[in-house]
Chains A and B, each alone.
Chain A
């Protein structure tokens, strides 16, 4: 049964979509504004992936951009080479991006997730830089990847609707995952890995799972990104892109989907909004103002904007007790 708690916000989200989509169809927004809205949705998906890895599972990653890039390149190659630009292939290309990013996430996650906190951060940072170098040199093996010249000629298939519904699907799936026994197992690792182990949780399995889910979401976002900007360059996926997303997840509040959504959209709008608000001669100040905002938010709210708090349908469900059993059945061993 879907409660009003779920239906109302879903209707509200749909209404937001209809309004924006109508505005786009009626050409009330220019191409640049549409791109920004679309990019904001992509960034939500991208950041949500890192929130699963770091916010919920507590595994520090400084290399999330690698999976964003892997998804972007993989899906772009599928569209360009395998389907020769056939637009019907777009879902398959996105799926390829997700699958490739998730598979590589699994392969790299297995060995490095044994590392703890900062050491894991450094290893993922190293992995991210290595992936970027591989993109830079990829044309020597796969000429179509373009190497340091970039990958061009990707058909523009990502519409606002695609990005919006992908983000919505990502939010719903992550929410459902987190509020399940598997999600609780993921979170228990963040809370106390030794205690989680002592509760019979296979911590290696759940660390890998969170890493794969997070990488897959980054891959999805990457595929959408590739088909939005139709040009990929290795520098789109460098260390700073890993930092951007980490910052968004932390500013939003670790382990808060609401916070991630607000911070991701806010971050895109802040950066692009400054472009509009600032007078021409002060445009260079954009990148000076934005880190200052970041520092001030951190000093004022060290646990992020939402600090683990959720709103509306992203809150955990209320526990209603049907019957008050006297005590646990005599044999506690029966399942």
Chain B
């Protein structure tokens, strides 16, 4: 390859990485919000993402909906699922040891994966996701930019900005931040903590649902286990950026996306997880609270 071709190849990889990172970001935001508020690694979040992708799949293939209604439907389905999980599985454990909630989250995750694998639910097989629009691609100096990328980027950016505004500008958003600091203090200030937690799960799950549809459009298949790896990586991205911090989740996701795509493009696809998780461990060792996290001195 000559230099020019190499540059084009590199840029193409970067573009692909941004696309993947944007999807991770939508999942990572839910992880980071939930962790920020209840200090729980919600392992079932990746499976909410999967259910969102399936909701989009049925919306398009069975109901024949176009992209926008399909993604909205998927967000609603995921939202309902996320809130239900919180209500039934996590809320009874609010005062229990943290690990009990974590194991329950893992239990919910396994349950969702295998329950949806049953033949009368989604079935265990891969299904090809029918794209709700024609795929077109623009060639800009040799770098292919598809309308999928544009849509993913557009939707992700819109949702991230909307979320940031919601958290910083609205009363509910401010209540969320209060709860994330201290449940009891927030309660004393008249904030209904349970409601705020429900809203957090609702928003986080809706974002994961949107992420599920976008993921399925970009890499067009769905299956009941599709949420495991993207879920894990999105969580890692959230930790990488600094858990509980919205811009951190975004930054971490973009880094994870690049790490994966560039490793695949230049080394080997089988080693991409090695690089992604290697970065995680190094970052944690150097900055235990993540790239944008505040490092604090433990109070004694």
Contacts and interface: CB of A to CB of B under 8 A. Distances in A.
Contacts of A299: 89, 92-93, 104
Interface string B273-291: 1100110110011001100
A127 B281 contact: yes
Contact of A123 (B235, B274, B281): B281
Contacts of B228: 239
Nearest to A286: B114
A230 interface: no
> Which one of B100, B235, B289 has the greatest number of beta carbons of chain A within 10 Å?
B100
Contact of A121 (B41, B115, B271, B273): B41
B98 to A, nearest CB: 8
Interface string A238-272: 01000100110011001000000000000000000
A290 B110 contact: yes
A125 interface: yes
Contacts of A287: 110, 113-114, 117
A295 B104 contact: yes
B270 interface: yes
Interface string B234-276: 0110010000000000000000000000000000101101100
A217 B92 CA distance: 35
Given A111-B285, A284-B114, A250 B277 contact: no
Contact of A288 (B104, B111, B273, B284): B111
B239 to A, nearest CB: 5
Given A123-B281, A125-B232, A137 B106 contact: no
Given A122-B239, A291-B111, A299-B92, A130 B274 contact: yes
Contacts of A239: 228, 232
A118 interface: yes
A298 B104 contact: yes
B271 A119 contact: no
Contacts of A119: 239, 284, 288-289
Interface string B210-248: 000000000000000000100010011001000000000
B103 interface: yes
B102 to A, nearest CB: 8
B139 interface: no
Contacts of A291: 106-111, 114
Nearest to B239: A122
Contacts of A284: 114, 117-119
Contact of A246 (B92, B101, B103, B110): B103
A126 B103 contact: no
Nearest to A303: B97
Closest 6 CB pairs of A and B: A302-B96, A126-B277, A287-B114, A302-B100, A291-B110, A291-B111
Given A126-B236, A129-B277, A298-B100, 16 more contacts: A121-B41, A123-B280, A127-B281, A133-B270, A133-B273, A148-B270, A247-B103, A288-B114, A290-B110, A291-B107, A291-B108, A295-B89, A295-B111, A298-B96, A299-B104, A302-B97
Interface of A: 60, 111-112, 114-116, 118-119, 121-123, 125-127, 129-130, 132-134, 136-137, 148, 194, 239, 243, 246-247, 250-251, 254, 284-285, 287-288, 290-292, 294-295, 298-299, 302-303
